[in-house]
Chains A and B, each alone.
Chain A
Amino acid sequence: MEKIRVVHYINQFYAGIGGEDKADIAPLEYQGAKGPGIGLMQEFKEQADIVATVVCGDSYFGENIDEATGIILEMIKKHNPDVVITGPAFNAGRYGVAAGAVAQAVKYKLGIPTVSGMYEENPGADMFKKFTYMVETKSSAVGMKDALQKMAPLAIRLAKGESIGTSAEEGYMERGIRVNTFMPERGAKRAVDMLMAKLNDQPFETEYPMPVFDRVEPQPAVKDITKARIAIVSSGGPVPKGNPEHIESSSASKYGRYSIEGVMDLDETNGETAHGGYDPCYANEDLDRVIPLDVLREMEAAGEIGSLHNFYYSTVGNGTSVANSKAYAKEIAKFLKEDHVDAVILTST
C-alpha cells in the first residue's frame, strides 16, 4: 500500500530558523519532515510520510493573515497531501492562530482533512476548534510527545477516511457538530433518568450542553473625553528600565504598577519590555511604541483629554493564564477606582 502523504505546518521557531528575531519571515517550504515532524514520523509507524514542511514566522502570519494563508495554501496544494497537520502550538498565541487558520483554510478551501493541536487557553483554540480536529495539548513543549502521540494516529485515520468518534471518545476539542446516532433508550426515558439523577445529587451527563458565552456588556461611552481621566494598561510587558519587579518574560506571575508622574516621554533610558513573545528591540528603543505615553501627555496638556492617571499597569500576556490575568485586572481596577479613572486604553502586542 502506498504511504499516506502528509504536509506539516510549523512556525519559524520549531523549524529551527530562529526565535522572535525571525518571527517576521514570510512562508517557505522544506522537503520532508522538520522539528516536531521528525517525532510525528516515528508515530506514523511507516504508514505515512511527511512529504513537505511549510513554515511561516508567527508575526508575519499575524500581521498578514489573508495573504500568508493564501501563499501557504498554494505551497500545501502542490504536494497533493492526504492530510495536513498544523502545530502543535501549545500556548503560543500567534502560532496557535496561524496553526488554526491554516487548518481551517486547508479543510474548507482544499477539502483536505486537517489535525491541529494546542493548549485549551490558546486563543487559536476557541477561534478554530470548530473548523478542524484540534487535539488538546499541555501548555508548553514539555507535552510534545504526548501531543504527537494523539495527533499522528488521528491524522492517519482521517487520511484513510475512517469514521471518527465523538470529541469525548477521541480526545479532540468539541466542534459543536451534532451527529445522529441510535440510543438503546428513548428520549423521554433518558430525560427522566437525568432529572432523577439531578434530584438525587447523582452525576449525569447532559446530551445538550449549553454554549458558554464569556462576554462582558460594553460600558457606556465616556460623555466628554476632555474631562475624562484615562489610564494605561498593557499586556505587552512595558516596564521601567531594568524591570525592577522582574516580571517574567512568559507565564507572568505578577503585574506591575509604575508611576509616570512627571514623565513626558519614554525612551531607552526609562523603559523597556519584559515580554518574551516578540522581538523587543523596537520597544526597548522607544516604549511609546507599546504604551503611547508621549502623545497622551501632549493631549493632556492641550486639553484633549482631562488627565492621565499617574500610573501604568503592565503584565506580560505571553502564555499567562486566563485566571491570573483576570486576578491582576481585578486588582488593577481597584486602583483605577480609587483614582476616579473614567476610561482605559489597553494595549497588546
Chain B
Amino acid sequence: MVKEIESQGFPVVHMCTVVPISMTVGANRIVPTIAIPHPLGDPSLSVEDEKELRRKLVRKALVALETEVDGQTVFEV
C-alpha cells in the first residue's frame, strides 16, 4: 500500500514497529513506533504521557514528510 500510494504521487511516511518489514516492503520514509498492538501509544503510561508520546511520534512523521530523501530513510524518534 505504501508503495502504491507513493507511486500515485503522494509522499508517504510509514509508521510501524517492525522496521525490517517496512524496509522489505519498500517504504521510503519510515518512523519506528512503540509496539505491534499499539504502534502509537503505550498503555502503561498515564493518559497525558501517552498522548505526549503520540505527539512526539507524529511530529517526527511530519519532519519525515518535510525531508527530501534519496532512498529508504528511517527517522528515529
**Interchain CB contact under 8 A, A63 and B17:** yes
> Is A127's beta carbon under 8 Å from chain B?
yes
Instruction: Tell which of B13, B20, B50 touches A346, judged by Cβ atoms closer than 8 Å.
Output: B13
> Which chain B residues lie closer than 8 Å to A59 at the CB level?
35-37
Question: Considering only CB atoms and an 8 Å cut-off, how many residues of chain B contact the other chain?
Answer: 52
Interface residues of B in 17-37 (CB under 8 A from A): 17-18, 20-22, 24-29, 33, 35-37
> Which chain A residues lie closer than 8 Å to B67 at the CB level?
221
A23 to B35, CA, bound (A): 12
A138 to B28, CA, bound (A): 30
**Interchain CB contact under 8 A, B40 and A292:** yes
Instruction: Tell which of B1, B12, B20, B57 touches A65, judged by Cβ atoms closer than 8 Å.
Output: B20
> Is A337's beta carbon under 8 Å from chain B?
yes
Q: Given known contacts A329-B1, A344-B5, is B28 in contact with A216 (CB within 8 Å)?
A: yes
Instruction: Tell which of B2, B8, B39, B55 touches A290, judged by Cβ atoms closer than 8 Å.
Output: B39
Closest to B70 in A: A218
**Interchain CB contact under 8 A, A283 and B37:** yes
Instruction: Tell which of B10, B21, B62, B70 touches A305, judged by Cβ atoms closer than 8 Å.
Output: B62
> Is A349's beta carbon under 8 Å from chain B?
yes
**Interchain CB contact under 8 A, B38 and A289:** yes
Q: Given known contacts A289-B39, A326-B1, A341-B10, is B68 in contact with A97 (CB within 8 Å)?
A: no
Q: A93-B21, A219-B9, A346-B1 are in contact. List 8 more A-B contacts (CB 8 A).
A: A94-B36, A216-B26, A219-B6, A230-B65, A292-B40, A333-B4, A347-B15, A348-B17
Binding site for A on B (CB under 8 A): 1-18, 20-22, 24-29, 33, 35-41, 43, 50-51, 54-55, 57-59, 61-62, 65-71
Could you write out 16 A-B pairs with CB less than 8 Å apart?
A93-B21, A127-B20, A218-B71, A235-B1, A286-B41, A288-B40, A289-B39, A291-B40, A294-B51, A333-B8, A342-B10, A344-B10, A345-B12, A345-B65, A349-B16, A349-B17
